[in-house]
Chains A and B, each alone.
Chain A
Amino acid sequence: MNFIDNPGKLHVFEKNAFEKNIKIEKVSRRSILKGLGITGGFVLAAPVMSRQAFAYETGAGKMPHGVVVDPRVFVAVGPDGIVTILAHRSEMGTGVRTSLPLIVAEEMEADWSRVKVKQAHGDEVKFGNQDTDGSRSTRHYLIPMRQIGAAARTMLEQAAAKRWGVPATEVKAVNHEVVHSASGRKLGFGELAADAAKESMPSIEGLKLKNPKDFRYLGKGQVGIVDLHDITTGKALYGADVRLPGMKYAVIARPPVTGGTLVSFDPDAALKIPGVEKVMKVQGWPWPSKFQPLGGVAVIARNTGAAIKGRDALKLTWDDGANGKYDSVAYRKDLEEAARKPGLVVRAEGDADAALKTADKVVVGEYYLPHLAHVSMEPPVAVADVKGDKAEIWAPVQSPGGTREDVAKTLGIPEGNVTVNVTLLGGGFGRKSKCDFALEAALLSKELGAPVKVQWTREDDVHHDFLHTVSVERIEAGLDKSGKVIAWRHRSVAPTIASTFAAGAKHAAPFELGMGLVDMPFEIANISCENPEAAAFTRIGWFRSVSNIPRAFAVQSMVGEIAAATGRDQKETLLALIGSPRIVKPAVKDMWNYGEPQDSYPIDTARLRKVVELVAEKGEWGRQVPKGHGLGIAVHRSFVSYIATIVEVAVDDKGKLTVPRVDTAIDCGTYVNPERIASQIEGAAIMGLSIAKYGEISFKDGKVQQKNFDDFQVVRIDESPAVTNVYIVPPGPDTPPSGVGEPGVPPFAPALMNAIFAATGKRIRSLPLGKQLEA
């Protein structure tokens, strides 16, 4: 398995004076733990970049373990000229395993056809932060990866200049070789590798980066993903595909209710199943316990099929514990009641109460969005091999550094004794930021004394997910006589992700408030945002786009409702609410801005307006559509990107819905691979449509009511939009890169509902759509 090879073997760059460029700074651990009483230690982090050299700063340095800018860590040049570049972020479909190495290759003048990409194992001291989440990889690593490439190029150039006895200023790296144009001499990267390794590491500040007009790869979108051939031939290695000699296969019966415990089990029938070798208990942790396993009973077998059959034969008795009464119907009523009463004020400008009382008209919308499951195509799976006080893990994890930490803590061994090998992820969407499945494998391997693969079935995945929250979003908009919105009250009630980390957390964490609530950019004089409390009765976690999904749904549906109430065009209503082109000052102290500094990543309504206008132009807003069709529009800023979507919907006389066309405009600043941006946005339309049409996980007696893709449906190809067009706003000079993986999802559902309203006059406020149009 080549992905576990230590790339250090190929290193030709030697350790040298770069250490002096590394400063020691204190950083907080995973940001979610901030304020929850868990603190981190001292770690090494390299400086990100100097402010003189680049026009912007990012929050990269504040991530756990910061950024490492060092070609000796990330780049190796073999004597055969093969350049190996390390991918230290996890590939779950965004294309990051291609994009980040491509940046290095661009800047070092490597020929992409002679580049190999290797996956880094989990080691954040060595590689810097590896959390692949928050749509952060390109925005945090565009400049560091360019610096790494430029440093490698400089070292190769210096080596060639020395060989020829000419000043370094006379030589230049061009397409995998260094040339001295005055004499016509050339040396390939492979021929220079050994000498370049002896060169001292150039200072980051002094590096000369390429002029973007000379880019061969960046911004072009002409390069296929690195795993394309392997994926199309079945060779690509996902977590589920790891096989070790002597490996056992395990599936686990977990408590049906979150926080439940095992009372008794009878393994006899399971042990009679051919291929079943052992039945054993798995340690569980009391809820909430971050990412620790739920516990239960594992069936160990010679193959997964036998393990599943064995588990079916187990006789199990559970104590459902404190969450055994969780019921989605009753819970929804509780959330609605909370949303109709004043709650914790999290943003206040002017006097919304007074303005609502004196308003000529008040438009009220109460929106409901149920829990969602991630259902990545590859259910959670992990392989562990624990021998004595050493553990090796192979797993599809978004956070290999966090996994390493948690495996070490769970087994009570030093972190340095844990190796986490990152496979490809068969989808992640936030589910695989939680390493519970790797911890289960580690615990079982330790007890068995053999390598073991823990495979979650789809039913396990649906029943025991860290679910997207469930929420009621209530908005009251007060209009004056002219139809202008003068007051805005938004109450957002939803169990918080913080409840997975700390018992009793009932209010949104700052990062949740900053996802479409307190950062709402409309130019309105009187605003009140409130967050009434909501208790959690199951595991809540990050789901692609997170709180932006309910917030954008409510806010952008309300724009459609205001347009309808005033008899105005949706797009014009939207632009009027956005107001003048301006930088919106943070409405609350320390407002969450996706971890980014306000200076580089302010809320810029000119950019918000621009994506609305661009999608309206390209998507032919206002075009005549056939009877039964309707157009809807929505815009949302999230992950510091700006995205607007137009959906055309067709609803037939039986209430059956089709989507003939989707148009989306995205402003994600400076970008690397427009082809992958398009694929992310195309996919976001599908996920948005799945959420809108089908997305619902419900509870009765504390248990998830859905099982598999038959009752937790997702959109299939025959109901997917006939065409999805993507328009990318060309970046201005030095516009910082922003997120792509997540921001495409939030505007889709409200654009669809605005379109359905245009087509049918029916306003859908409760997701999923289900059969509401058939009534």
Chain B
Amino acid sequence: MIKVKINGQEQSWDGDPDLPLLWFLRDEAGLTGTKYGCGQALCGSCTVIVDKEAVRSCITSINDVAGREVTTIEGLHPNGDHPVQKAWRQVNVPQCGFCQAGQIMQAAALLMDNPKPSHDQIREAMSGNICRCGCYQRIENAVHLASTGV
């Protein structure tokens, strides 16, 4: 039996320990805010925060996070008012929106690590997250805004 804390709630799993965290979150725990985009850690749509680090849940097994704390987009802030979320809304970032949960989690992890990133640092930290609609200019601006106070 694997135990993991997700958004502050204890969850358990007695199935395949190799099951990617992504599919546990989406299909078993019903937390569909975390998205499948590639399954190979190439696009970042599935990004969640484990302890204080951004990880790609598509290549992280449920066993890898046993006993650790996982935060998904649903648990980032109780009212959805994390500075990154607020900045995202202020800049009207999304087009289709599908990659945005991963982008927001990556940005939130970046700001935990580096509260005042430069534009180059933002571009580097966010470069693992693909947006096919091409919202990059707004993503960069929103992360900058979140870091300077929304």
Chain A residues proximal to chain B, CB less than 8 Å: 91-95, 224-225, 227-229, 231-238, 240-241, 243, 249, 273-275, 302-306, 308-309, 375-379, 424-429, 455, 457-459, 675, 679-680, 682-687, 708-710, 714-718, 720-721, 723-724
Contacts and interface: CB of A to CB of B under 8 A. Distances in A.
Nearest to A304: B23
A224 B92 CA distance: 6
A303 B23 contact: yes
Query: Is chain A's interface secondary structure helix, strand, loop, or mixed overall?
Result: loop
A455 B15 CA distance: 21
Interface in B91-140: 92, 94-101, 104, 122-124, 126-140
B89 A224 contact: yes
A686 B134 contact: yes
Give the top 8 A-B pairs by smallest Cβ distance, nearest first: A234-B33, A686-B134, A426-B98, A305-B23, A93-B96, A93-B95, A234-B73, A683-B134
B94 to A, nearest CB: 5
A307 to B, nearest CB: 9
B96 A426 contact: yes
Contact of B137 (A95, A304, A427, A682): A682
Interface of B: 15-16, 18-20, 22-24, 26-28, 30-40, 42-43, 45, 72-74, 76, 80, 85, 88-89, 92, 94-101, 104, 122-124, 126-140
Given A234-B73, A378-B98, A679 B36 contact: no
Contacts, number: 199
A228 B124 contact: no
Nearest to A241: B32
A710 B24 CA distance: 25
A234 B34 contact: yes
B19 A377 contact: no
A721 B131 contact: no
B88 A379 contact: no
Contacts of B97: 93, 227, 231, 236, 424, 426
A717 B43 CA distance: 12
19 contacts: A227-B94, A228-B89, A228-B92, A231-B101, A232-B88, A232-B100, A234-B31, A240-B32, A240-B36, A249-B27, A274-B16, A305-B16, A377-B132, A458-B40, A682-B135, A709-B38, A716-B128, A716-B136, A717-B123
Nearest to B31: A234
Nearest to A685: B134
Contact of B96 (A303, A376, A718): A376
Contact of B27 (A227, A303, A714, A721): A303
A717 B27 contact: no
Looking at B45, B126, B137, the one whose CB has the most chain A CB atoms below 10 A away is B137
Contacts of A234: 31-34, 72-74, 101
A243 B122 CA distance: 35
A305 B24 contact: yes
Contacts of A455: 36
Contact of B89 (A232, A302, A306, A716): A232
A119 B37 CA distance: 24
Contacts of B124: 718
Given A302-B27, A424-B98, A709-B38, 17 more contacts: A93-B94, A227-B97, A228-B94, A234-B31, A238-B98, A240-B35, A304-B27, A306-B15, A375-B132, A379-B36, A379-B37, A679-B92, A709-B43, A717-B123, A717-B126, A718-B123, A718-B124
Contacts of A235: 33, 74
Contacts of A303: 19, 23-24, 26-28
A234 B1 CA distance: 28
Most buried by A among B32, B123, B128: B32
A306 B61 CA distance: 12
A717 B37 contact: no
A305 B92 contact: no
Contact of B136 (A306, A457, A717): A717
B109 to A, nearest CB: 15
B119 to A, nearest CB: 9
Contacts of B126: 717-718
B42 A708 contact: yes
A714 B37 CA distance: 13
A302 B19 CA distance: 12
Nearest to A381: B36
B95 A94 contact: yes
A69 B105 CA distance: 43
Contacts of B40: 458, 708-710
A559 to B, nearest CB: 25
A377 B92 contact: no
A188 B27 CA distance: 45
B123 A305 contact: no
A720 B141 CA distance: 13
Q: Which of A232, A458, A683 has the most CB of B within 10 A?
A: A232
A682 B132 contact: no
Nearest to A716: B127
A274 B62 CA distance: 14
A306 B16 contact: yes
B74 to A, nearest CB: 5
Q: Of residues A91, A238, A427, which shows the largest number of chain B Cβ atoms within 10 Å of its Cβ? A: A427
A470 to B, nearest CB: 21
Given A231-B97, A377-B131, A458-B38, A717 B92 contact: no
A717 B38 contact: no
B33 A305 contact: no
Given A240-B32, A303-B19, A709-B43, A377 B99 contact: yes
Contacts of B23: 303-306
A682 B15 CA distance: 45
Contacts of B92: 224-225, 228, 675, 679
A424 B98 CA distance: 9
Nearest to B135: A683
Nearest to A719: B127
Contacts of B16: 273-275, 305-306, 309
A103 to B, nearest CB: 19
A377 B43 contact: yes
Contacts of A91: 96
B74 A233 contact: yes
Nearest to B102: A377
Given A231-B100, A234-B33, A458-B37, A376 B132 contact: yes
A303 B45 CA distance: 19
B135 A232 contact: no
B96 A427 contact: yes
Which of A224, A375, A455, A709 counts the most B-chain CB atoms under 10 A from its CB? A709
Contact of A715 (B33, B43, B85, B134): B134
B33 A686 contact: no
A483 B116 CA distance: 55
Which of B88, B95, B135 has the largest count of A CB atoms less than 10 A from its CB? Answer: B95
Contacts of B134: 682-687, 715, 720
A424 B45 CA distance: 16
Nearest to A662: B137
Nearest to A242: B32
A305 B19 contact: yes
Contact of B139 (A231, A304, A709, A717): A717
Contacts of B27: 249, 302-305
A608 B31 CA distance: 49
Contacts of A240: 26, 32, 35-36
Nearest to B32: A241
A717 B88 CA distance: 16
Nearest to A249: B27
A17 to B, nearest CB: 41
A305 B35 CA distance: 13
A233 B35 contact: no
